Amino acid sequence: MKKATTSQLECYQLDSPYTSFAKESLILRDQLAVDRSILASERTMLGFAKVGVMSLLLATLLFHLAFEIWFQILGGLLLFLGIFSLRLCIRQFRKFMLLNSERTY
């Protein structure tokens, strides 16, 4: 995996809250807090992916099996929700990978 450049970090406007501390001053509790934050971010990203995939599947099901107009409208809204949610998931994944490529102990 390649290292992120400062221009890529500026693009996402992300700064790690721990960059202002010296590595030696971080105790185990602080390092574990960083790990918990990373895992929580990953769990959120996977939640967005789950909502996106389920919305796309339900929208496809409604488009193909329902013939009434309000089912098709609901399918269109779910299709939009699924695409939006997957886009948000991809954005979170890129941020997650960018921050983890910079992280060293």
* Mean pLDDT, range 54-83, rounded to an integer: 88
pLDDT at 104 over 70: no
pLDDT interval class at 103 (50, 70, 90): low
DSSP readout, the chain? -PPPPHHHHHHHT---TTTTS-GGG--HHHHHHHHHHHHHHHHHHHHHHHHHHHHHHHHHHHHHH--SHHHHHHHHHHHHHHHHHHHHHHHHHHHHHHHHHH---
Token pair for residue 89?
């998931």
Highest mean pLDDT out of 7-11, 23-27, 53-57:
53-57
Beta-carbon count within 10 A of 39 CB = 10
pLDDT at 13: 47
Residue 55 · residue 81 · CB < 8 Å? yes
pLDDT at 83: 92
- Over residues 44-62, the pLDDT tens digits come to 888 888 988 999 998 888 8
* Mean pLDDT, range 9-16, rounded to an integer: 51
pLDDT at 6 over 60: no
pLDDT at 102: 64
